[in-house]
Structure 1
Amino acid sequence: MKNKVPYIEQMNESECGIACVAMISSYFGKHIDISDLRDLFGTSRDGLTLTVLSNLCDMLDLDSKAFMVNTEELKKLKFPVILHWDYQHFVVFEGYKRKKFHIVDPDRGRRKLKTDEIEKHFSGTILSVIPNNNFYKKKPKPLWRPYLSLLWKKPILLLSMLLLSIFLQSFVIISPLLTQYIVDRSTSKFSDFSFVTLLLAIGLSLISYISFNILRNEVSIKLFEYLDFKLSWKFFSHLLNVPYTFFQNRKSADLLYRFSNLRSIRNVLSSQFMKSLLDMILVITIFVYMFNKSPMLALLLMALTSLLALTIFSFRSRMNDLNRLEVFEDTKLYSFQSESIMGIHDIKSSGLEQTYSQKWKDMYNNFSTAFVNRERLIGIVTAISSSFNFFIPVFILLVGMQSVLNGIITLGELIAFQTISAYFLNTSNSLIMQIEAYYQLKVYLKRLQDVFNTPLEITEETKEKHIIQGEIEFQNVSFSFTQYGKNVINNASFHISAGEKVAIVGKSGSGKSTLANLILGIYPLKNGIILYDKKDISSLDKPTLRKQIGIVTQKPYLFNKSIFENIVANREGVTLDMVIEAAKIAEIHEEIMKLPLNYHTIISEQAKNFSGGQIQRISIARALVGNPKIIIFDEATNALDSITEKKIDDHLSKLNATRIIIAHRLSTIKNADRIIVMDDGEIVAQGKHEELITSNDYYISLYKHNNSLELLNI
């Protein structure tokens, strides 16, 4: 193998393909992040084909070609290739060495597999990738720079921390000097003056050391507090403002796990970074002092310390692989636990408690194995380090005694050298371990950078904060999740007048909900224009626009707060009277008033203390409390009985608002001013119910099918 393929972790389940392309590109010298490819190509919900990966390679000036090979032919390949794995995944084949196939899995990390294991997973298809004449090299982005920039914004705290630490570190030199002074004068009696002076000096040093330690601790706490807020706020704020597509392909538990990784970064920046800098200065200072006292002993100590550093660094690659595997297994376990608790009703109602318990046990065993393997390697490194720290001072003492006997240095100088060499070893070892820790933190940094490198949905550009009237127009709008993916919405054109009630119907998966998200501006357009009151949506301020739209989705989410807080949803200026009015329109007010705490009743996590119909009506009240100009219901009343739904519809008809209804229930769509019929992402018909039921075969089939279901439900 020429060299190792840089490992790049896929950040969601459908990004294995682009992660493999990023690894191959980085192997040849063009280091590129997944976020860059995501911006270039888009985010797929369903993964990518080899053809699409080949197109992506073209964008990166990489020539690619697909082949069918067997395992024997695979062994002979000289360059890394992309393997089709388990017919649903992609991995990079790094090379064949010592009767093992070296695989870099973007999901699990580096793996070494035997022939029978390869044959079990490898489909036989490879994508060969090599640079063409236009290919150019690109250095990787520095991971630490964005975080270090936070430190430079607090120069006074940094300078205070540095000066206090330097002063405290100076005691490392003062202590051996006092030792040398006392030992070298031990043959003659101290005068009373010298003895008292030394006692005062030691006492003053002790008081100074305690005082400056307390001061440095205060500065450290302030720096820690600043970084804790800045990092957490920066991450959370950025996360909330990335496009919605980012969340569609990532598990919420995984994102929460990344949030917890901020603590490790914060700890390093607030204390370890400064400590590393000071340790480096201290190592150099001590070495200069020791070299001045005994060049031979100083060089010998430096040689032994360098040998220790090289020994520890030789474990780095293996340590990084084990650290990545532990994070991977820990994340999987954390996600499984979170999903199990969230889905506890389905687990219990299906009698799957034992099945899930056994699954947890298997996943925990995988995590435990990864953890034990990493701890075992850490134990080996620690044992080597401790052994060096124990035996090197003895070795230095043995060699140093020869210098004393030869009259090169005094006994006091040797004891001082011996004392300070212990500081040198401890500081050097600390510095080495901190450097190792920085490398191990790269796993966390890359996972955080997946968020920070995702462009914000809302830029800093000045947008018009338009007060909408409710008119919407689509002009030849198309949308797909990736550049080469199939259009989910294809060439959609329609006009909705302000105050009009429009229903959107079609089979499941026909693009109805996607169309609603395009109206909200949640998805970026591939082609076409969306107009609000004749103004292009791209020129409008998205938050201002969305605040004027009330939407209830298929799966509305209620927060673990009071009913009042859920309806208000942190909007400013919303009064109890406004909440009550919205609840009356949603036909939920009377039921709320029957509760012991009325509007102050707490909704449990996942709203388990409310029925599906109550959840929908509280969500409707939340959508209406802001007096929206546009109301979007995406199957928002499918849990309600026909009578309650009719009452809500009558209330809504009195509002001065445009209504867009996505529904299957006939009573919901029949009285719409216009019905838009969708099939496979395309608008196949538009018109009133009376027109469509006599002229459009597809609508007629939908109507008959839904009518049969409604009759069955009566």
Structure 2
Amino acid sequence: MTAAAPPGRRHRRPVRVPTVLQMEAVECGAAALAMVLRHFGRHVPLEELRVACQVSRDGSNAVSILHAARAYGLTATGARRELDDLAGAAFPLIAFWDFNHFLVVEGTSRAGLHVNDPASGRRLVPWDDADARFTGVVLDLHPGPGFVRAGRPPGTLRSLGGRLRGSWDGVRYVLLAGAALIVPLMGAPIATQLFTDEVLVPAAPNQAGALLAALAVMIALQLWLAWWQRTVINRFNVRLSVMMASGFLRHALRLPLTFYAQRSVGDVAYRLQLGGEVAQVVSSQLVPALLQVFTAVLYLALMLVLSPALTLIAVAAAVIDVVVLRAAQRHREDASGVVVREESALHATSYYGLRTIESVKASGGEDDLFGKVTGFHARAANARQKLELPFTVISAVPALTAQLATIAVIGVGALLVLRDALTLGQLMAFAVLVAGFLNPIGVLVSLGGALQQARGHLDRIDDLLRYPTPPPPPAADALPAGRLRGEVELRGVTFGYSPNKPPLLDNFSLHVRPGQRVALVGGSGSGKTTVARLVTGLVAPWSGEIAFDGVPRDRLPAPLLAASLALVDQEIVLFAGSVRDNISFLDSTLPDSAVVAAARDAAIHEDVSVRPGGYGAPVADGGRNFSGGQQQRIEIARALSVDPTILVLDEATSALDPGTEQLIDQAVRRRACTTIVVAHRLSTIRDCDEIIVLDRGRVAERGTHDALMRRGGAYAALVTA
């Protein structure tokens, strides 16, 4: 049955909730709660609400959102409601949508539901569409006794100003270049007045030569100063872009793996690009606009000296421009965030599609990929059109008001000239001043649009920059230098990927002595790879402790861990460069002897030697010019090149034949390093000192191969399966 407006209901006027767009699909619940909190006067950063709502790679649930809302002083209850009952509800409320999404309902009308979607912004959903997508679950939220208004919305200018730390010398230089340009600009109306009153009106051509020469000098000076200003701005833009990009990248490299688990690599790379666009706005629009405002004040002062009556006309035109600009600001703020989000999704999808092009072609998925990318492209284009179309109309307003103001000035000024209240030269000079006074208003309209788009860029950049990084490790001299002996211990470790679900590992313990070889086996999802990630520090435990040589991990300096610990996992990463670059991972201090020794132990030396250039032979991006087995062996050689005392192998030899696998195994044993092996192929771990069988994050069995086979338990079942 087609849904219509609920009969017999009086619809309340929809409330207007501040829009907070989600950065990733999994955080819609946190973004929806942020909107409701801001509506009631509590401004909480989205990154803080991610933690409060327990957002994980699987998202969050209604219970977590309710707990978070109560923690901020809201009275929060969950309920089931029919769509017809929403007309009488107290808004705003959070609704569960499509069984996989949270959004804010601002109100109802005869046309449908008025929603504010963290994924796309404010929109109207017709009743029939709402009937198909509304799940009946709502979260009623309103201020409780403990609710406190606090915080303030993020300010674009404040945020941009914070990025100028260390660059104020460049700002002053740009302002100086612009200030120098004011001199010839101010000379133009003065020269116009003198030429009209001293040459044209009295018909005195003998005065024309000097005035025209002075005017030519001012024009030449203006052109040279404009070129100098442009050069200064370009240099400042390059410097600011480099500073922002380096700061972004430095912070991104320190972030934990949990950050990247919820975001696509393409999106993070796109955010790095956004820093350059923000720098462009600051250097080319924001700083020059400050000078334009100062110039407009000088023009206003000159106009007041010439004619206060005509000045009122110019001021009235400026007020109209400002009112129109303010009216359009709210629309652009919402729309610009949607544009950035859609373009980010387009970049991420395109990157992933090209990164996995071999799989796409092998599965015949070219048409599917094309449809997906073009779909995102269309959505991004539509979002940009919605942003730019109103701006096209708005940007015409300053030009129109400037023309009308000029006509009015000439008309009223002509009357003043006829009454001898103004000279003709003063009127001509005033007309030039009006154009100069209103021109900054047009610049401010363009700047307003650029700042609104920059707000969307800043939100995505700050999402990364405000993400907490692990505490810095102790100084390198706090503990003995060199390498770890190789003892690994996990003490009562509990860990999971989602706070909303039971932990994957619960009170897990493991003790590996120096030089010991331990294997982790079990079915898919049993926690083998998770243990490897915990040992290597890619993820941090919820509780418990991880220690090396009896010292907790967080007390060990990073250089010591990097020199002692190496991981080879299932995902092979080879980049465009030489074979040596890929084995040494661009470490120029690593001697060639260490690179060759690692390649020999990884059984890849012979393959490299027969290639033209040997270790200088090129490696294509992703290692496309090497076979799967060769790629895996280069990855193993990279791990061995640092001569680790602790080596973690997570399905590291899955692409190798048994003979090659045996050669590598023998070479690793000769190095006498502690080895933790995660394996599905059980033939590779028969001679391990200990085999640990995991089942749903718990130790089901442990012992040697022979002992476990005699027991006839879970391990024996895996071997005989």
Common topology (TM > 0.5): yes
Question: Residue 41 of structure 1: CA displacement?
Answer: 5.7
Question: Residue 649 of structure 1: CA displacement?
Answer: 0.8
Query: What is aligned with 1:536?
Result: 552
Counting only pairs closer than 5 Å after superposition, residues 115-126 of structure 1 correspond to structure 2 as 115-126=127-138
Q: Secondary structure, in 3 states, of the residue corresponding to 1:14?
A: helix
Please say if residues 91 and 105 of structure 1, whose CA atoms lie closer than 8 Å, have aligned partners that are also in contact: yes
Q: Distance in 2 between matches of 1:638 and 1:10?
A: 39
Please say if residues 21 and 57 of structure 1, whose CA atoms lie closer than 8 Å, have aligned partners that are also in contact: yes
**Is 2:201 the partner of 1:187?**
yes
Question: Residue 509 of structure 1: CA displacement?
Answer: 1.0
Find the partner of 1:635 among 636, 651, 657: 651
Q: Distance in 2 between matches of 1:75 and 1:14?
A: 29
77 and 297 in structure 1: CA distance in 2 versus 1, 3 angstrom threshold? farther
Q: Which amino acid aligns with 2:88?
A: K
Please say if residues 60 and 500 of structure 2, whose CA atoms lie closer than 8 Å, have aligned partners that are also in contact: no
Find the partner of 1:582 among 590, 598, 605: 598
Question: Residue 569 of structure 1: CA displacement?
Answer: 0.2
> Which shows bigger deviation, 317-326 or 343-352?
317-326
Q: Secondary structure, in 3 states, of the residue corresponding to 2:544?
A: strand
Find the partner of 2:485 among 469, 472, 475: 469
Query: What is aligned with 1:444?
Result: 457
Query: What is aligned with 2:420?
Result: 407
Q: Distance in 2 between matches of 1:666 and 1:173?
A: 84
Question: Residue 146 of structure 1: CA displacement?
Answer: 5.2
Query: What is aligned with 2:704?
Result: 688
Q: Distance in 2 between matches of 1:496 and 1:370?
A: 56
Please say if residues 677 and 686 of structure 1, whose CA atoms lie closer than 8 Å, have aligned partners that are also in contact: yes
Query: What is aligned with 1:455?
Result: 468
In the TM superposition, what whole-angstrom CA distance separates every residue of 1:362-414 from its partner, at most 9, and x where no partner exists? 33333333333333223222333332232221122112222222332222111
Query: What is aligned with 1:338?
Result: 351
Find the partner of 1:654 among 665, 670, 676: 670
Please say if residues 42 and 482 of structure 1, whose CA atoms lie closer than 8 Å, have aligned partners that are also in contact: yes
13 and 163 in structure 1: CA distance in 2 versus 1, 3 angstrom threshold? same
Q: Distance in 2 between matches of 1:363 and 1:167?
A: 47
Q: Which amino acid aligns with 2:174?
A: M
Q: Distance in 2 between matches of 1:570 and 1:40?
A: 40
Q: Distance in 2 between matches of 1:152 and 1:235?
A: 14
Q: Distance in 1 between matches of 2:155 and 2:447?
A: 18
393 and 270 in structure 1: CA distance in 2 versus 1, 3 angstrom threshold? same
Question: Residue 58 of structure 1: CA displacement?
Answer: 2.8
TM-score scaled by structure 1?
0.94
Q: Distance in 2 between matches of 1:5 and 1:669?
A: 59
Q: Secondary structure, in 3 states, of the residue corresponding to 1:441?
A: helix
Find the partner of 2:106 among 94, 99, 102: 94
Q: Distance in 2 between matches of 1:199 and 1:182?
A: 8
Query: What is aligned with 2:9?
Result: none
Question: Residue 350 of structure 1: CA displacement?
Answer: 2.2
Q: Distance in 2 between matches of 1:157 and 1:294?
A: 38
327 and 98 in structure 1: CA distance in 2 versus 1, 3 angstrom threshold? farther
Q: Secondary structure, in 3 states, of the residue corresponding to 1:135?
A: coil
Question: Residue 28 of structure 1: CA displacement?
Answer: 1.5
> Which shows bigger deviation, 200-209 or 276-285?
200-209
Q: Secondary structure, in 3 states, of the residue corresponding to 1:492?
A: strand
Q: Distance in 1 between matches of 2:321 and 2:584?
A: 62
Q: Which amino acid aligns with 1:662?
A: V
In the TM superposition, what whole-angstrom CA distance separates every residue of 1:627-674 from its partner, at most 9, and x where no partner exists? 001000001011111121111111111112100000022221211101
35 and 547 in structure 1: CA distance in 2 versus 1, 3 angstrom threshold? farther
Question: Residue 567 of structure 1: CA displacement?
Answer: 0.2
> Which shows bigger deviation, 593-602 or 257-266?
593-602
Query: What is aligned with 1:498?
Result: 514
Q: Which amino acid aligns with 2:171?
A: L
Name structure 1 gaps, 5 residues minimum. 706-714
Q: Secondary structure, in 3 states, of the residue corresponding to 2:57?
A: coil
368 and 224 in structure 1: CA distance in 2 versus 1, 3 angstrom threshold? closer
187 and 364 in structure 1: CA distance in 2 versus 1, 3 angstrom threshold? closer
Query: What is aligned with 2:147?
Result: 135
Question: Residue 150 of structure 1: CA displacement?
Answer: 4.4
Question: Residue 44 of structure 1: CA displacement?
Answer: 0.5
Please say if residues 520 and 546 of structure 1, whose CA atoms lie closer than 8 Å, have aligned partners that are also in contact: no
Counting only pairs closer than 5 Å after superposition, residues 273-422 of structure 1 correspond to structure 2 as 273-422=286-435
Name structure 2 gaps, 5 residues minimum. 1-12
Please say if residues 567 and 579 of structure 1, whose CA atoms lie closer than 8 Å, have aligned partners that are also in contact: yes
Counting only pairs closer than 5 Å after superposition, residues 475-494 of structure 1 correspond to structure 2 as 475-494=491-510
Please say if residues 474 and 556 of structure 2, whose CA atoms lie closer than 8 Å, have aligned partners that are also in contact: no
Q: Distance in 2 between matches of 1:145 and 1:488?
A: 43
Q: Which amino acid aligns with 1:682?
A: R
Query: What is aligned with 1:699?
Result: 715
Please say if residues 330 and 367 of structure 1, whose CA atoms lie closer than 8 Å, have aligned partners that are also in contact: yes
Find the partner of 1:108 among 120, 126, 135: 120
> Which shows bigger deviation, 496-505 or 80-89?
80-89
Query: What is aligned with 2:6?
Result: none
Please say if residues 510 and 681 of structure 1, whose CA atoms lie closer than 8 Å, have aligned partners that are also in contact: yes
Query: What is aligned with 1:57?
Result: 69
Q: Which amino acid aligns with 1:422?
A: A
Please say if residues 572 and 635 of structure 2, whose CA atoms lie closer than 8 Å, have aligned partners that are also in contact: yes
Find the partner of 2:562 among 523, 543, 546: 546
Query: What is aligned with 1:709?
Result: none
Question: Residue 25 of structure 1: CA displacement?
Answer: 1.6
Q: Which amino acid aligns with 1:168?
A: L
Question: Residue 523 of structure 1: CA displacement?
Answer: 1.6
Q: Secondary structure, in 3 states, of the residue corresponding to 2:468?
A: coil
Q: Distance in 2 between matches of 1:98 and 1:424?
A: 47
98 and 602 in structure 1: CA distance in 2 versus 1, 3 angstrom threshold? farther
> Which shows bigger deviation, 660-669 or 290-299?
290-299
Find the partner of 2:180 among 144, 163, 167: 167
Query: What is aligned with 1:510?
Result: 526
Find the partner of 1:568 among 581, 584, 591: 584
Query: What is aligned with 1:80?
Result: 92
Please say if residues 63 and 129 of structure 1, whose CA atoms lie closer than 8 Å, have aligned partners that are also in contact: yes
Question: Residue 522 of structure 1: CA displacement?
Answer: 2.1
Find the partner of 1:11 among 23, 26, 42: 23
**Is 2:610 the partner of 1:597?**
no
> Which shows bigger deviation, 536-545 or 62-71?
536-545
Question: Residue 144 of structure 1: CA displacement?
Answer: 4.4
> Which shows bigger deviation, 682-691 or 270-279?
682-691
Question: Residue 525 of structure 1: CA displacement?
Answer: 2.2
In the TM superposition, what whole-angstrom CA distance separates every residue of 1:595-653 from its partner, at most 9, and x where no partner exists? 23322222222222222211111100000000001000001011111121111111111
> Which shows bigger deviation, 64-73 or 309-318?
309-318
Question: Residue 143 of structure 1: CA displacement?
Answer: 4.5
702 and 55 in structure 1: CA distance in 2 versus 1, 3 angstrom threshold? farther
> Which shows bigger deviation, 340-349 or 629-638?
340-349
Q: Distance in 1 between matches of 2:54 and 2:588?
A: 36
Q: Secondary structure, in 3 states, of the residue corresponding to 1:46?
A: coil
> Which shows bigger deviation, 30-39 or 494-503?
30-39
Q: Distance in 1 between matches of 2:42 and 2:712?
A: 55
C-alpha RMSD of the superposition: 2.2
Please say if residues 104 and 117 of structure 2, whose CA atoms lie closer than 8 Å, have aligned partners that are also in contact: yes
How many residue pairs match? The answer is 704
44 and 156 in structure 1: CA distance in 2 versus 1, 3 angstrom threshold? closer
420 and 89 in structure 1: CA distance in 2 versus 1, 3 angstrom threshold? same
> Which shows bigger deviation, 282-291 or 452-461?
452-461
Please say if residues 495 and 505 of structure 2, whose CA atoms lie closer than 8 Å, have aligned partners that are also in contact: yes
Please say if residues 473 and 556 of structure 2, whose CA atoms lie closer than 8 Å, have aligned partners that are also in contact: no
222 and 357 in structure 1: CA distance in 2 versus 1, 3 angstrom threshold? closer
Q: Which amino acid aligns with 2:638?
A: R
Please say if residues 43 and 245 of structure 1, whose CA atoms lie closer than 8 Å, have aligned partners that are also in contact: no
Question: Residue 190 of structure 1: CA displacement?
Answer: 4.2
Question: Residue 693 of structure 1: CA displacement?
Answer: 2.6
Question: Residue 158 of structure 1: CA displacement?
Answer: 2.7
Question: Residue 202 of structure 1: CA displacement?
Answer: 2.8
Q: Which amino acid aligns with 1:134?
A: G
